[in-house]
A and B are shown apart, each in its own frame.
Chain A
Amino acid sequence: MNENFDVCVIGAGVVGCAVARELSAYDLSVCVIEKEEDVCSGTSKANSAIVHAGYDAKPGTVKARMNVRGAELIRKLSGTLDFSYRENGSLVLCFDEADLPKLNDLYERGQKNGVEGLRILSKEQVKELEPAVSDNVVSALLAPTAGIVCPFGMTVAFAENAAENGVVFRFLTAVTDIRKTDGGFEIETDKGVFRAKYVVNAAGVYSDKLHNMVSGKKLSITPRRGEYVLLDREAGDLVSHTVFQLPGAYGKGVLVTPTVHGNLLVGPSADDTDDKEDTSTTADGTASVKERALLSVPSVPYNKTITGFSGLRAHEAGDDFIIGEPDDAPGFFDAAGIESPGLTSAPAIGEYIAAELAKKAGAARKKDFKAERRGIPQASKLPLEERAALIKRDPAYGNIVCRCESISEGEIREAIRRTPGAVSLDGVKRRVRAGMGRCQAGFCTPLTMRIISEELGIKMTDVTKNRPGSEQIKG
């Protein structure tokens, strides 16, 4: 295979897909190269799923700029691209009078970063907003513009909209080398050579490796593992805000937050590892996250835990996002070191890189760019009459496959049929939540496998959980 594009984006996580979507508004041929079988398969799939208001990053940093702009864009794009987002506000809890200056620092920082509506609350005000918060709280910073988002939904929305506007995706394609050439770059992969005038490096925890292939100014990304515990929707309304802890005597602090789908999420831990694929959970890590969350909300009902997971943040030694062209590799655009608040910043990073790249390429905006995208209809969330009408149009929407989340056969088939569509159980789960509920796919696994096998025309024995090698059955 020998493929030529104006731009190759490496990595189909939320950043890569956001860049691709923004690039697709310009007259450029764009290809996204991804080593996994689907979008949203690395850092983007396992994080806190929150939209940071923007008071955390140091004023003047790239992080601060991207965070505030990203939050603004997510608010807008959640409508244009139809993904789940809710502005639920966040609280940073302070448990010690001695730490009040630090809380104030956050407030000041937020002001400098341009975050709106910040307020320091008294203990009584906090308790009134969130009765489940610990009595040990002395004060808190309220950020009403903070939100929660579906990271899968957002990434898939970017990807689908990019594809609709002409971006092509190449999955299960791992980059092995990048060489500078006269007209741009040669990207060597396990599936052949790609040629591109420009490259966008959105490779998450691997972004240092890619960067170092073309630049003498070396980067070093440390995968920082974060463990989470996810609770049943029954526990989802324990708090309505995202509840953080002020970094202090208790360590870095973990959050307790509702998710857009109504679950309760607790985490993360922070352990540096040297394995870029080490997304295992540990007994100690899980225990410590659970214990520390109780400092904020003593009544977290862990007996309603439905799953635990861990994700890797791409921590760069310089502690800021690295965005743009290195001096010694023009045409190569980094989006590296995208750790927290990376999810929030992704649309802003996409907007920024696409604009810079288009300017450099002299590319004009497309006249026929389709900015809007509709998500897959969630049959069970529709009013009864609309649900009935949908089922009348397509009876598959009346056949419930995942009983915990009330997901129909119609939704699952649509998730597979879209471009880029789901090709694995995890791909289906991330798009339409089949298997995401309290039984964790016990009942729907065989049924969803059957649908995947039918839609893709593959054997049941070839249906995977995610990447090749994760086939579900042995014969």
Chain B
Amino acid sequence: MQSHDIVIIGGGPAGLAAAEAAYDAGARDILILERDVRLGGILNQCIHNGFGLHTFGEELTGPEYAERYINMVEERGIRYKLRTIVADIDENKRVTYVNGEEGAVTVQAKAIILAMGCRERPRGALGLPGYRPAGIFTAGTAQRLMNIEGYLVGRRVFVLGSGDIGLIMARRMTLEGATVCGVAELMPYSGGLNRNIVQCLNDYNIPLKLSHTVTMIHGKERVTGVTISEVDGNRRPIPGTEEYYDCDTLLLSCGLLPENELSKSAGIELDRVTGGPVVNDRLQCSVPGVFACGNVLHVHDLVDFVSEEAERAGKNAAHYVAEGEGSDGEATVLKAGPGVRYTVPQTLDAGLMDESVKVRFRVSDVYRDRSVSLYYDGRLISKRKKRIMAPGEMEELILKKSSFDRPVSEIRIAVED
């Protein structure tokens, strides 16, 4: 059986940045396995700009951003296989992949980096009533058909869900001559970035209807319209609030789900809230030597943050290969307190941690003029006021190694007055 120091599953933004950083941290025997026909992942279909402000200090399109990282990988001579799907990972870090050239091959990895990304929540999982005609697409599928294949999926469009891809597609389809009748969002707040609400909806006079959902899909062959209704505090449709929209297409942007089927086959522990692996401050999963980054770990808003996180995973994987695990100390657990949905990482090893560790988290509601409080075993360590926090915008907090002057068993982050 062939072996590799680091096998990276996925050649999207997370996999590429992880590869580059692993190489720069000394690893040489790195293999990226990518299922698509090119590297770059979902960035290839994100032809709008707004990528790279944090990483490169300039606004790039998705393909341009991907190209920067693809070039880094190429310059370093890092190997990759395209049109190659990973069929299985086991708990001993054996990776089985399949492609047309080699058939089915199993390789032994010293370390694995999970960078498989996420998928969109489909109509069926939302339980939307009505018929099942053509013309219902997740926003990402419509985006691919439009930006990669070059086809317009519809002429009169309604969008359910205010996730970023849905907002981007509302603008994109408008620019291509389609009429976007409106965007309905089940929650009383948007699921996407505020900048996308402004730039993709407000600038084009596309109405956003918060606390609304689709209660009937009409049309037997092709969508002919949707009925939407207002929902109450329990997200149940309110009778009498029905409005009919004449349209031929329904786009869905109702959440992204980390794709962790392979992680499960490797016996990796998952977080019920993020849908991704439980990781420590080195982004290592419950199986030693397996690291995770990007949308497979938790869904991000900005690719810049994916790259930054993936570089940490890559660096740590390289160190793991060179030095082994080296952990012995008791892990400190990070807990999501009131107002916080989750944290990544979920554990921290104060003995081995870097000088500082970035913790990313999401809040569970829209909060104005509230504080983020940090507690070590119940002791208030810091409290920082924020003008606005929303579930659609990821928050972060830096933990300093120097702040652990004594053993801590629980770190808690909470939203407080």
Contacts and interface: CB of A to CB of B under 8 A. Distances in A.
Are A and B part of the same complex? yes
Interface in B101-151: 101-106, 119-120, 122-125, 127, 129-135, 137-138, 140-141, 144-145, 148-149, 151
Nearest to B138: A442
A286 interface: yes
A380 B87 contact: yes
B221 A473 contact: no
B124 A470 contact: no
A387 B98 contact: yes
A406 B87 contact: yes
Given A308-B124, A450-B149, A398 B130 contact: no
B333 interface: no
A396 B100 contact: yes
A36 to B, nearest CB: 11
B63 interface: no
B83 interface: yes
Given A446-B141, A464-B134, A388 B129 contact: no
B152 A398 contact: no
Contacts, number: 137
A359 interface: no
Interface in A425-475: 438-443, 445-446, 450, 460-461, 464-475
B103 A308 contact: no
A439 B256 CA distance: 11
A306 to B, nearest CB: 5
B291 to A, nearest CB: 22
Q: How large is the interface on A (under 10, 10 to 19, 20 to 34, 35 or more residues)?
A: 35 or more
Contacts of B96: 384
A230 B152 contact: no
Nearest to B45: A446
Contact of A403 (B35, B83, B129): B35
Nearest to A425: B134
A450 to B, nearest CB: 7
Given A280-B129, A380-B87, A474 B134 contact: no
Given A388-B104, A391-B100, A438-B122, 20 more contacts: A230-B124, A277-B220, A280-B130, A305-B124, A306-B124, A307-B124, A308-B127, A384-B96, A384-B106, A388-B103, A395-B101, A398-B98, A438-B119, A439-B120, A441-B141, A450-B149, A461-B151, A469-B221, A470-B134, A474-B153
Contact of A283 (B120, B144, B145, B215): B215
A369 interface: no
A309 interface: yes
A98 B120 CA distance: 48
B127 A286 contact: yes
A399 B83 CA distance: 6
B202 to A, nearest CB: 26
A111 interface: no
B237 A283 contact: yes
A441 B141 CA distance: 9
Contacts of A118: none
Contacts of A283: 127, 129, 215, 237
A98 B171 CA distance: 63
Given A440-B122, A442-B120, A475 B152 contact: yes
